[in-house]
Amino acid sequence: MNNDQYLLAIETSCDETAVAVIKNETELVANVVASQIESHKRFGGVVPEIASRHHIEQITVTLEEALQEAGMTLDDMDAIGVTEGPGLVGALLVGVNAAKGIAFARQKPLVGVHHIAGHIYASRLEKEFEFPLLALVVSGGHTELVLMKGHNNFEVIGETRDDAAGEAYDKVARLLKLPYPGGPEIDKLAAAGEPVIDFPRAWLEEGSFDFSFSGLKSAVTNKLHNAGQKGEEFRPEDVAASFQESVVEVLSTKTKKAAEAYGVKQVIVAGGVAANSGLRARLLETFRETDQELLIPPLKFCTDNAAMIAAAGAVAYRQGHRAGWDLNAHPGLDLEEYGKRRRN
Amino acid sequence: MNILAIDTSNYVLGVAVIKNREVVGEWVTNVKKNHSVRLMPAINQMMRETETSPEELDQIAVAHGPGSFTGVRIGMATAKSMAFALDIPVVGVSSLEVLARQGIFFKGLICPFFDARRGRVYTGLYDEEMNVVMEEENIDMKTWLERLHDMKQPVLFISQDESAFREMIEQELGDRAVFPGAAHRYARPSYLALSAMKKPASSLHTLMPNYLRLPEAEQKWLRQKEK
Ligand SMILES: [Zn+2]
């Protein structure tokens, strides 16, 4: 009798159509991502309707590729997982309905997965979790500090009050006339510059683990505008480096303070901005000689993928969670609520 | 030959099971409610009532549009993934053709249409044998009616959006315009299955929605490019 557990997961919350197969919660057997980024570049951002169209075009191709890569069939799967939210509703709907189609056709259990839970569980593909742990989630839509005292137990102890860090990156990239997506472009530029401009850091009230990036964004706008009027010029490399320095300093300092305040054993960095080399370097330095172990997923697990959804879904499946045939897309799904439902 | 037919391309949510050319089950609602939530429970119920297990299915039929972009994709994602999981053929049928079949006993031309807003419609023209007389289009209703006018034949208009266009149609075609009763204005999934039986199976990966319309962002982008 073979007691290995296999789960196939689908992710379509934004602009990647992805399918993965995972064994026993942490062993990745297949991981296929069909990116659409080229289709959205000319619009300077993800166009929801175009994203949804690509998903429906790619979904069965991606499924087939993933099973081929795994060298398995749907017979071998114990359950089907899918991102139910948050994300673009039309995009999510393709994945959710495809997952339901497969699960119903083969009479397999169905598990709905929170996209951010997925980003956090990406780290578990590398190293077993030790609770309590703290996750710094940074992406285009999210900037938050999440405390986990156990599996699927999420407490948001700090979050952005305005823009997400990734949003600030995109806006500053546009100011500097960099191509979409702006984050990696700024990161590249920053590496060649010096943080000579002193942009503000939003620390907020003493003891708060919340973030705010809208002030920084305005400061960059004003600085460039004023400089232009005075005929001064900043090197774009230096603007990028100074902006990134401000973001990275706030993120790493707050993460460090929260890690100490909650006495966590591990610190996880999750989300697309976790691919930022400046942030990775600073966090490595910050946590080099501390009691907390720092887990940063490899680059391929920072951007959206289904491996992370499989990793989170397999845990929810083991915990006994089952979605009904009426599973829907939830574009604004709350992480704490989701965790509660998974544990009960 | 057992067929499961799925239509979520417009307001109608339709599911039917056909066994050996007999319609053993058909479920239709015409309410503006979430297809994504209701489709799979409807399929589950229909399969149970007709004592059909998924592995007994030989084919999936799906309405591939035109219609609501999201609605079309809900049905397509479900149909394609079921066909993939069961390794059976999937057949896409035009949502307009399915609707046109409601007029099967009419002697004349059949014009199904869906409101595409701003005076436009998704429409096509069929004869009594369901042959295509004019290809499907996303077109200004006025322009479309002028073309129908020139055909000098009675035309049956089938649409749940009838009331929005009825006056315009009668003005253009007068007595030659015919409107069916309420029971015939909605697409039926049994007709979808029967249409599918007459068509070759689509290739799973290349079967795509037929939107008849570019995304808004793409239209804008093309207009700007032309300037
Ligand atoms: Zn993401």
Where do the domains of chain B lie? 2-95+187-222, 96-184
Residue A128 pLDDT > 90: yes
**C-alpha of B116 from chain center:** 14
Residue type, A223: K
CA B73 – CA B112 distance, rounded (Å): 21
Could B80 and A59 be called an inter-chain contact, meaning their C-beta atoms sit closer than 8 Å? yes
Interface membership of B88 toward A (CB under 8 Å)? no
CATH number of B96-184: 3.30.420.40
Residue A141 confidence (pLDDT): 86
Give the homologous superfamily in CATH for domain B2-95+187-222.
ATPase, nucleotide binding domain (3.30.420.40)
Average pLDDT estimate for B171-194: 95
Find the range with the poorest average confidence among A139-148, A224-233, B206-215: A224-233
CA B153 – CA A339 distance, rounded (Å): 63
Residue A52 confidence (pLDDT): 98
Please give the structure tokens belonging to residue A146. Answer: 């999440």
**What is the distance in A from the centroid of ligand 1 to the CA of A307?**
12
Q: List the single best residue of A62, A67, A94, A330 to mutate versus B (max B Cβ within 10 A).
A: A94
CA A267 – CA A145 distance, rounded (Å): 10
Beta-carbon neighbour count of residue B94 at 10 Å? 23
Q: List the single best residue of B64, B73, B88, B211 to mutate versus A (max A Cβ within 10 A).
A: B73
**C-alpha of B127 from chain center:** 16
Percent of chain A predicted with pLDDT > 90: 88
Q: Which residues contact B174 (CB under 8 A, 6 or more apart)?
A: none
Residue B162 pLDDT > 90: yes
CA-CA-CA-CA dihedral for A277, A283, A289, A294, to nearest 10: -100
Average pLDDT estimate for B114-123: 96
Interface membership of B51 toward A (CB under 8 Å)? no
Q: Are A54 and A17 in contact (CB under 8 A)?
A: yes
User: In chain B, what residues touch A55 (CB-CB under 8 Å)?
Assistant: 73
Interface membership of B76 toward A (CB under 8 Å)? yes
Residue A343 confidence (pLDDT): 74
CA dist list (Å): A7 to A23, A183, A314, A321, B181: 7, 32, 6, 13, 50
Residue B227 pLDDT > 80: no
Average pLDDT estimate for B46-56: 97
CA distance B115 to chain A (A): 19
Between residues B52 and B33, which one has the greater pLDDT?
B52
pLDDT in tens, B60-92: 999 999 999 999 999 999 999 999 999 999 999
Q: Are A160 and A144 in contact (CB under 8 A)?
A: yes
pLDDT in tens, A299-339: 999 999 999 999 999 999 999 999 999 999 999 999 999 99
Residue A45 confidence (pLDDT): 87
Q: Which chain A residues touch B if contact means CB-CB below 8 Å?
A: 42-43, 47, 49-50, 52-53, 55-57, 59-61, 63-64, 74, 89-90, 93-102, 104-107, 324-329
Between residues A55 and A342, which one has the greater pLDDT?
A55
CA B206 – CA B227 distance, rounded (Å): 34
User: In chain B, what residues touch A96 (CB-CB under 8 Å)?
Assistant: 36
Q: Which residue of B has its CA nearest to A89?
A: B70
Question: How many contacts, defined by CB atoms under 8 Å, are there between A and B?
Answer: 112
Average pLDDT estimate for B124-149: 96
Axis-axis angle for helices B216-226, A48-70 (nearest 10): 120
Q: Which of A186, A144, A184 is nearest to A163 (CA)?
A: A144
Residue A271 confidence (pLDDT): 94
- Total-model pTM: 0.96
Could B69 and A42 be called an inter-chain contact, meaning their C-beta atoms sit closer than 8 Å? no
For A125-141, the three-class secondary structure string (H helix, E strand, C coil) is: HCCCCCCCEEEEEECCC
**C-alpha of B97 from chain center:** 6
User: In chain B, what residues touch A110 (CB-CB under 8 Å)?
Assistant: none
Residue set of the binding site of A for Fe cation? 115, 119, 304
**What is the distance in A from the centroid of ligand 1 to the CA of A312?**
13
CA distance B38 to chain A (A): 6
Please name the member of B73, B204, B217 whose beta carbon is closest to the beta carbon of A47. B217
Average pLDDT estimate for B201-221: 93
CA A24 – CA A5 distance, rounded (Å): 5
CA distance B44 to chain A (A): 8
Interface membership of B54 toward A (CB under 8 Å)? yes
Average pLDDT estimate for A85-109: 98
Axis-axis angle for helices B35-49, A89-105 (nearest 10): 10
Give the pLDDT band (50/70/90) at residue B199.
very high
**What is the distance in A from the centroid of ligand 1 to the CA of A135?**
14
CA A335 – CA A341 distance, rounded (Å): 10
Query: What residues are paired with A264 via a beta bridge?
Result: none
Q: Tell me, what's the ipTM?
A: 0.96
Residue B121 confidence (pLDDT): 98
Interface membership of B201 toward A (CB under 8 Å)? no
Average pLDDT estimate for A59-80: 98
User: In chain A, what residues touch B38 (CB-CB under 8 Å)?
Assistant: 326
CA distance B6 to chain A (A): 12
CA A303 – CA A139 distance, rounded (Å): 9
Please name the member of A53, A61, A96 whose beta carbon is closest to the beta carbon of B36. A96
Axis-axis angle for helices B69-86, A48-70 (nearest 10): 10
Interface membership of B217 toward A (CB under 8 Å)? yes
Between residues A180 and B45, which one has the greater pLDDT?
B45
Residue A251 confidence (pLDDT): 97
**What is the distance in A from the centroid of ligand 1 to the CA of A45?**
15
Interface membership of B37 toward A (CB under 8 Å)? yes
Note if the bond before B180 is cis, omega within 30 degrees: no
**What is the distance in A from the centroid of ligand 1 to the CA of A115?**
6
Q: Which residue of A has its CA nearest to B84?
A: A60
Give the pLDDT band (50/70/90) at residue A231.
confident
- The beta-carbon contacts of A1-5 under 8 Å, at least 24 apart in sequence, are A5/A78, A5/A314, A5/A317, A5/A318
Q: Which residue of B has its CA nearest to A54?
A: B208
CA dist list (Å): B46 to A14, B5, B23, B24, B208: 33, 11, 12, 9, 25
Task: Kindly write down the DSSP assignment for every residue of B59-83, as one continuous string.
Answer: EEEEE--SS-HHHHHHHHHHHHHHH
CA A159 – CA A139 distance, rounded (Å): 12
| Torsion sign, CA atoms A265, A301, A18, A35 | positive
Could B77 and A97 be called an inter-chain contact, meaning their C-beta atoms sit closer than 8 Å? yes
Residue A344 confidence (pLDDT): 65
Give the pLDDT band (50/70/90) at residue A181.
confident
Interface membership of B15 toward A (CB under 8 Å)? no
Average pLDDT, chain A: 95
